[in-house]
């Protein structure tokens, strides 16, 4: 057990798991669709984090996608370090934008409102969650962040890489009964998060509800306790599930409230 | 067709347990680490045990191939062991100074175990694997320990890994890992860490969980012994799991080599709580120098039970019986699987057989089959080696095979999509 977290890993989680959930936000939340309706021309934001991830997000009138798109307008956001990037995502610092004035306006008109909206769903107030529909969406988005963080931790974190090194090839399904199904694909000890059901999982973790899934994946609930009391069940190649549970435990260090 | 068991009372007791015990039942005898898949197919609490069987709190009866995860070697409540324990209990158990029965038990182990010149007693297997590693470090004044991948040596922090909760990086920083049966890799590892390795700790063969168990290749242990000698490394055999089931003289003796230190626990006293580290004369003074003791480590009743157990195991030539009945059982299980179109792989020694249905790589079919067996009165597990005991009869084996056959048939009928492989 490592007692410290690594800001570089946090940066990867912020890029691929937090900002990587913007496409799902755009798909699920009507307010996000309204914001995107203001996109006049497809625009790609390139994130350049010194010592960290380099990735792009493309915004159109209909959706948000990871990666760049040919013909899209381009805006670059530079970050002097992973710590700088993490502080920007936490809302305590500003990025260094690079682009034409019209494209920079895209940041304030589209990107910032979308990330603010995502923040309201990922760090909701009790008042916000009083609406059942918003509550469910909040849990789905939180679960997406946490499940995709599994791959980032498995590939970038020292403890996560140790666990991944002990994990054989195959898919581990992450299912919420009657609600959704993702999977983590392991190949040569490298993890990929896939937001669809696995056609042939080698191991399965089935959460009894979205609340349980969100709680475990964000480190607020113990997987072992939930397996014991039946809120989480496992089957298949348990040596694989066991190592994924260890990565899950480490994800909790990054995302948990403790 | 037999009727699957119900577990109403087990569930009720478990619900009570969840309120006052972390995870209800923690560790390998609980539903999580015990891999009860699905949990609803397994009993959670037992009410009594006798011979080769236990009965759960719902009154369901099981032929038990886990034997308390090893301690039940003669049969639950063996009358000779119980008589010896009762006689000692009438005299004393835990007192301020030890009973001389401790000396008698040590003398018996020195006479029985080929590599033993002395015996040091504790309670659990982990107590003595930890003592063995401390001894190796004290004797060599080196830090590093070589582990064989797939190992289990208890739950002390040094036996765990970097990614285990509550275990500090510093506690596993001197652990080196190598594959079983891979001599070139071991030679390389020892050369790369020349002069830094205190000990090599290994089970006598690879009986890791979730994987087919592997016996040593011809000449493997003799080569490991020679490498340890040339590098000044203490060779520690963790015989906690296999001890007294393969060979009463120790599993190192069974495989034709001599350990420097050998750890015993499970089968040592037929369920009475005692473990032992035995070793060579050259390490006796080192062990004496260590600060290592416990409140109950010299309790006399388990020593009496241990003497009775080892004596009876000798009288029965129990390892031969385990090998014979274990082979009959595993051969029958493979046939029962084949008759239902499944390929069942059995591995490890017959006395500690490991099972795996090889028709899918997720083990889900295997978990289904084991669950059906358990619900019909044969307690197998899906992830761990099993244990034979001396109370098992040929009638038990035949009944087990009937249940196993029925369970294979149920799984086959549930999966018409599967192509038969056998």
Q: At B188, is the secondary structure helix, strand, or coil? A: helix
Instruction: Give the separation between CA A71 and CA A56, rounded to whole angstroms.
Output: 14
C-alpha distances (whole Å) from A51 to each of A7, A14, A47 are 10, 14, 12
Closest-CA residue of chain B to A253: B165
The strand pairing partners of A174, in sequence order, are A182, A205
**pTM score, whole prediction:** 0.94
Instruction: Give the separation between CA B156 and CA B164, rounded to whole angstroms.
Output: 11
Name every residue whose Cβ is closer than 8 Å to that of residue A19 and which is 6 or more positions away in sequence: A47, A55, A57, A89, A115
- Please give the average per-residue pLDDT across B357-369, as a whole number: 95
Q: pLDDT per residue over A16-40, tens digit each?
A: 999 999 999 999 999 999 999 999 8
Closest CA to B374 of B16, B54, B51, B28: B54
Q: pLDDT per residue over A145-156, tens digit each?
A: 999 999 999 999
Question: What average pLDDT does chain A have?
Answer: 92
Instruction: Give the separation between CA B365 and CA B382, rounded to whole angstroms.
Output: 10
Q: Are A47 and A55 in contact (CB under 8 A)?
A: yes
Q: pLDDT per residue over B101-122, tens digit each?
A: 999 999 999 999 999 999 999 9
Residue B226 contacts A where some CB pair is shorter than 8 Å = no
Which of A224, A228, A246 is closest, CB to CB, to B163?
A: A246
- Please give the average per-residue pLDDT across B29-48, as a whole number: 95
Q: Are strands A203-207 and A232-236 parallel, antiparallel or unpaired?
A: antiparallel
A112-122 and A132-156 are packed helices; what angle lies between their axes, rounded to 10 degrees? 100
Instruction: Give the separation between CA B31 and CA B37, rounded to whole angstroms.
Output: 8
Q: pLDDT per residue over A48-59, tens digit each?
A: 999 999 999 999
* DSSP secondary structure, B146-184, as one string: EEETT----SSGGGS-TTSTT--GGGSTTEEEE-TT-HH
Domains, chain A, with CATH or none: 7-123 (3.30.1050), 133-255 (3.30.1050.10)
Instruction: Give the separation between CA B186 and CA B38, rounded to whole angstroms.
Output: 39
Supply the pLDDT for residue B186.
98
Which of B24, B163, B211 is closest, CB to CB, to A228?
A: B24
> Which residues of B fall within a CB distance of 8 Å from A239?
209-211
Q: Which positions 369-408 of B are in contact with A (Cβ < 8 Å)?
A: 382-383
> Which residues of B fall within a CB distance of 8 Å from A237?
210, 361-363
> Which residues of B fall within a CB distance of 8 Å from A160?
163
Supply the pLDDT for residue A211.
87
Domains, chain B, with CATH or none: 8-76+318-414 (3.90.1150.10), 79-316 (3.40.640.10)
Instruction: Give the separation between CA A213 and CA B357, rounded to whole angstroms.
Output: 31
Supply the pLDDT for residue A46.
95
- Secondary structure letter of residue B375 according to DSSP: T
Q: Tell if the CB–CB gap between A225 and B361 is shorter than 8 Å.
A: no
Q: Tell if the CB–CB gap between A237 and B210 is shorter than 8 Å.
A: yes
Instruction: Give the separation between CA B389 and CA B329, rounded to whole angstroms.
Output: 13
Q: Are A85 and A49 in contact (CB under 8 A)?
A: yes
Q: Sort B337 into a burial class: Cβ within 10 Å, 0-12 / 13-18 / 19+.
A: buried
| Count of alpha carbons within 13 angstroms of residue B81, beta-carbon side | 28
Closest CA to B335 of B226, B229, B422: B422
- Please give the average per-residue pLDDT across B217-245, as a whole number: 98
B81 band by pLDDT with thresholds 50, 70 and 90: very high
Q: pLDDT per residue over A87-138, tens digit each?
A: 999 989 888 877 777 777 889 999 999 999 999 999 999 999 999 999 999 9
Nearest CA distance, A223 vs chain B (angstrom): 10
- Interface residues of A toward B, Cβ cutoff 8 Å, are 1-3, 158-160, 162-163, 166, 170, 201-203, 222, 224-225, 227-230, 233-239, 243, 246-247, 249-250
Supply the pLDDT for residue A52.
97
Q: Tell if the CB–CB gap between B363 and A236 is shorter than 8 Å.
A: yes
At residue B358, does pLDDT exceed 70? yes
- Please give the average per-residue pLDDT across B75-84, as a whole number: 98
Which of B20, B29, B163 has the highest number of chain A CBs within 10 A, making it the mutation to test binding with A?
Answer: B163
Question: What average pLDDT does chain B have?
Answer: 97
> Which residues of B fall within a CB distance of 8 Å from A161?
none
At residue B172, does pLDDT exceed 80? yes
End-to-end Cα distance, chain A? 15
Supply the pLDDT for residue B124.
97
Q: Are strands A73-79 and A180-187 parallel, antiparallel or unpaired?
A: unpaired
Nearest CA distance, A249 vs chain B (angstrom): 8
Supply the pLDDT for residue A255.
87
Name every residue whose Cβ is closer than 8 Å to that of residue B422 and which is 6 or more positions away in sequence: B337, B338, B341, B342, B343
Supply the pLDDT for residue B138.
98
Nearest CA distance, B124 vs chain A (angstrom): 24
Three-state SS annotation for B44-74: CCEEEEEECEEEECCCCEEEECCCCCCCCCC
Which of B32, B167, B362 is closest, CB to CB, to A203?
A: B362
Does A40 or B52 have the greater pLDDT score? B52
Question: For chain B, what percent of residues have pLDDT higher than 90?
Answer: 96
- Please give the average per-residue pLDDT across B263-276, as a whole number: 98
At residue B1, does pLDDT exceed 90? no
Q: Are B144 and B198 in contact (CB under 8 A)?
A: yes
Closest CA to B114 of B246, B270, B289, B25: B246
Residue B19 contacts A where some CB pair is shorter than 8 Å = no
Instruction: Give the separation between CA B276 and CA B238, rounded to whole angstroms.
Output: 11
At residue B227, does pLDDT exceed 80? yes
Q: pLDDT per residue over A78-94, tens digit each?
A: 999 999 999 999 989 88
Residue B29 contacts A where some CB pair is shorter than 8 Å = no
> Which residues of A fall within a CB distance of 8 Å from B365?
none
- Secondary structure letter of residue B283 according to DSSP: G
Closest CA to B69 of B165, B154, B160, B164: B154
Which of A202, A203, A224 is closest, CB to CB, to B23?
A: A224
C-alpha distances (whole Å) from B176 to each of A246, B170, B182, B196, B201 are 20, 13, 14, 11, 10
Supply the pLDDT for residue A96.
83
At residue B376, does pLDDT exceed 70? yes
At residue A258, does pLDDT exceed 70? no
Supply the pLDDT for residue A257.
60
Tokens of A154: 């498995």
| Cα radius of gyration rounded to whole Å, chain B | 22
């Amino acid at each position: 057990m490592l007692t410290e977290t690594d800001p570089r890993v946090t940066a990867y989680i912020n890029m691929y798991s937090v900002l990587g959930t913007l496409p799902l936000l755009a798909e699920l939340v009507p307010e996000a669709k309204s914001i995107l309706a203001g996109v006049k021309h497809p625009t790609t934001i390139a994130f350049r984090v010194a010592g960290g991830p380099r990735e792009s997000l493309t915004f159109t009138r209909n959706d948000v996608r990871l990666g760049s798109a040919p013909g899209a307008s381009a805006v670059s956001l530079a970050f002097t370090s992973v710590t700088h990037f993490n502080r920007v995502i936490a809302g305590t610092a500003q990025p260094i934008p690079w682009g034409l004035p019209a494209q920079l306006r895209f940041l304030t008109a589209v990107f910032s409102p979308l990330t603010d909206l995502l923040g309201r769903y990922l760090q909701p107030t009790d008042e916000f969650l009083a609406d059942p529909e918003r509550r469910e969406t909040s849990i789905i988005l939180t679960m997406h962040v946490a499940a995709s963080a599994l791959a980032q931790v498995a590939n970038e974190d020292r403890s996560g890489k140790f666990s991944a090194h002990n994990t054989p090839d195959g898919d581990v399904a992450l299912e919420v009964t009657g609600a959704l199904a993702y999977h983590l694909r392991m190949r040569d000890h490298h993890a990929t998060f896939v937001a669809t059901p696995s056609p042939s999982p080698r191991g399965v973790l089935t959460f009894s509800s979205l609340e349980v899934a969100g709680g475990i994946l964000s480190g607020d609930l113990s997987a072992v306790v939930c397996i014991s009391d039946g809120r989480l069940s496992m089957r298949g190649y348990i040596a694989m599930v066991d190592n994924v549970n260890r990565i899950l435990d480490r994800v909790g260090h990054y995302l948990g409230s403790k | 067709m037999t009727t699957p068991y119900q577990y109403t009372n087990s569930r009720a007791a478990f619900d009570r347990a969840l309120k006052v015990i972390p995870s209800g039942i923690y560790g390998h005898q609980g539903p999580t680490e015990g891999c009860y898949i699905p949990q609803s197919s397994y009993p959670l609490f037992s009410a009594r045990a006798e011979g080769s069987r236990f009965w759960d709190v719902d009154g369901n009866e099981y032929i038990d191939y886990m034997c308390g995860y090893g301690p039940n070697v003669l049969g639950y409540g063996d009358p000779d062991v119980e008589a010896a324990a009762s006689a000692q209990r009438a005299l004393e158990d835990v007192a301020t100074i030890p009973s001389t029965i401790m000396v008698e038990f040590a003398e018996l182990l020195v006479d029985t175990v080929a590599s033993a010149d002395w015996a040091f007693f504790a309670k659990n297997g982990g107590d003595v694997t930890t003592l063995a590693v401390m001894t190796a470090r004290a004797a060599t004044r080196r830090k590093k320990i070589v582990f064989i991948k797939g190992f289990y040596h208890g739950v002390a922090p040094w036996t765990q890994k970097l990614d285990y909760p509550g275990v500090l990086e510093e506690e596993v920083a001197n652990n080196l890992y190598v594959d079983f049966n891979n001599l070139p890799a071991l030679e390389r590892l020892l050369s790369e860490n020349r002069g830094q390795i205190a000990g090599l700790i290994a089970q006598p063969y690879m009986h890791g969980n979730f994987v087919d168990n592997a016996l040593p290749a011809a000449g493997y242990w003799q080569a490991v012994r020679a490498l340890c000698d040339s590098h000044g490394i203490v060779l520690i055999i963790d015989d906690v799991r296999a001890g007294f089931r393969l060979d009463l003289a120790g599993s190192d003796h069974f495989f034709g080599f001599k350990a420097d230190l050998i750890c015993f626990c499970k089968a040592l006293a037929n369920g009475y709580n005692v473990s032992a580290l035995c070793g060579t004369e050259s390490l006796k003074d080192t062990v004496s120098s260590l600060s290592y003791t416990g409140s109950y480590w010299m309790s006399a009743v388990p020593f009496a039970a241990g003497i009775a157990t080892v004596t009876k195991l000798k009288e029965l030539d129990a390892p031969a019986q385990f090998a014979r009945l274990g082979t009959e059982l595993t051969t029958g299980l493979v046939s029962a699987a084949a008759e239902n179109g499944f390929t069942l792989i059995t591995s490890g020694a017959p006395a500690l057989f490991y099972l795996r249905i090889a028709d899918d790589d997720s083990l889900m079919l295997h978990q289904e089959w084991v669950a059906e067996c358990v619900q019909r009165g044969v307690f197998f597990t899906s992830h761990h080696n099993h244990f034979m005991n001396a109370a098992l009869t040929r009638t038990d084996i035949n009944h087990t095979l009937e249940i196993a056959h029925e369970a294979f048939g149920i799984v086959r009928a549930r999966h018409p999509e599967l192509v038969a492989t056998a």
